[in-house]
Amino acid sequence: MKNYTLYIVDNHKMFCEGLKNILHKRADIHNIKLFYNGQSVLKALELEQPNLILGDISMQEMNGIELLKIVKSKFPLIKYILISTFNSTGYVKDVMKEGANGYITKDSESTEIIEAIKMVMDGNIYISPSLSGKLFKTEYILTKLTKREIEVLEKISLGFTSQQISEKLFISFHTVESHRKSLLAKTECQNSVELSIWGIENGIIQRGSH
């Protein structure tokens, strides 16, 4: 991997420098450049295009998903791995829709980060095992939900009460409660709060729209 040009993008300088040192020593990647915000990356891309960008999601001014969208629209051949503290399948789905080549969590071991880079540079998609398992389970659960259950889950995720859901969907209060119980069983959530969070994290509604 030593001939690759790699950009690391993260607000935290210590994290960038630490990751750079690890990749220098353990992956033999020598051409590594550090950036601390998205705008500086976009300026650099006007002069050269790296093989791979390893970028955080949570950044000031321009977050990692916004940067990913711009990079992929202008330079689709650049590989892009998101590295984040967010351990949510919803974020994985979001970045994959935008063309990300990988998603790893910041608590990953250095060996996993190196493996992710190798796999992505070989043309594969890499998702941290802890997340890929959750993603598979979530997709399986979603196939088991009925259209009406998804409608009820959407309203629960938006914070509506059973009575409000009943009025909005023109179904009885008892029917709403039956759907709520079925949703709890299928998603293995313990209460409506967990169910609401599950719905938001897994894209039943758009994050922030509630």
Enter the pTM of the model.
Answer: 0.75
Question: Which long-range contacts link 135-142 to residues 24+ away (Cβ below 8 Å)?
Answer: 135/89, 135/92, 135/93, 138/89, 138/202, 141/186, 141/187, 142/202
Which of 138, 156, 149 lies closest to 88 in space, CA to CA? Answer: 138
Q: What is the overall mean pLDDT for the chain?
A: 90
What pLDDT is recorded for position 207? Answer: 42
Query: Does position 71 have pLDDT exceeding 80, yes or no?
Result: yes
Contacts of 40 by beta carbon, 8 Å cutoff, 6+ apart: none
Q: Structural domains in the chain?
A: 5-128 (3.40.50.2300), 145-201 (1.10.10.10)
Give the pLDDT confidence of 98-143 residue by residue, as tens digits. 999 999 998 889 999 999 999 999 999 999 988 888 787 888 888 8
Which of 8, 4, 31 lies closest to 120 in space, CA to CA? Answer: 4
